[in-house]
Amino acid sequence: MIRTKTTYLIFSFLGGIILLFLVGPLVSLFLSSTPNSLFETSREPEVLRSIWLTLWTSMAGTFIFAIAAIPFAYLLARREFPLKNLVNGIIDLPIVIPHTAAGIALLGSISRDTWVGKTAEVLGIDFVGHPAGIALAMAFVSLPFLINAARDGFASVPEKLEKAAMNLGASRWRVFITISVPLAWRNILSGLIMMFARGMSEFGAVVIIAYHPMIAPVMIYERFGSFGLEYARPVAVIFILVSLIFFMILRLIAKKGSHAED
């Protein structure tokens, strides 16, 4: 018993160090910002536009790519096929590679002289320096979070339930919509939230595709580089607060939905 308590004390101490490492810089950031500077910065139209652009482009990228990512995750959970391990590795690539390199790779695929860029130009869309390009960059680096979470959720759904429904005459599509997705929805929702949050915080890939219009992370970097820490800090604090509020709301919705199901 004494050994167990000692082990827990050591683990708690180590956990406290980790929490201090995570929370300390944020607390220092907030304490270093004056209420007056936060108030003045929050009234700047440029800052408000930047935060709003960050939120809606990340959300748009999340929901647009979810249309294909969720069925793809189901396929990965249910089917075995050649080179499946390679496919899973490719999915995780955007997490592994430097995000500036990811932005350069993406730019090489959607710039004006590529067939994708030329096709988009016919439709009146120029991805470079455009919110559409920002959404693509955000989705590129955050898609693995949704695919991996949804895949794990579908893998946890008992196949015997799906087979029983198909034996009763239900199509695979109907089984997917009425059984698989509802049973895996917690993981799917968690993946959507993480994809949205990760896209919202992206800097490296976005700054390659579109320095302007500025999303909040790019604006923070631009103000820090041009005017220093004092000028960048209030924007960082406001963006962190907005991000936390949105993240907490989404998590609360997920939690309420979970309790309602139980």
* Residues 36, 168: Cα–Cα separation, whole Å: 66
For residue range 65-91, list pLDDT tens digits in order. 999 999 999 999 999 999 999 999 999
- Low-confidence winner among 17-21, 153-157, 158-162, 248-252 (lowest mean pLDDT): 248-252
DSSP letters spanning 161-186: HHHHHHHTT--HHHHIIIIIHHHHHH
> Does 1.10.3720.10 match the CATH number of domain 53-213?
yes
Per-domain boundaries in the chain: 53-213
Among 176, 71, 83, 95, residue whose Cα is nearest residue 143: 95
Ramachandran angles phi, psi of 196, nearest 5°: -60, -45
Which pLDDT score, from 0 to 100, does residue 222 have? 94
* pLDDT for res 4: 74
Q: What are the structure tokens assigned to 52, written together?
A: 């709003």
- Confidence (pLDDT) at 1: 65
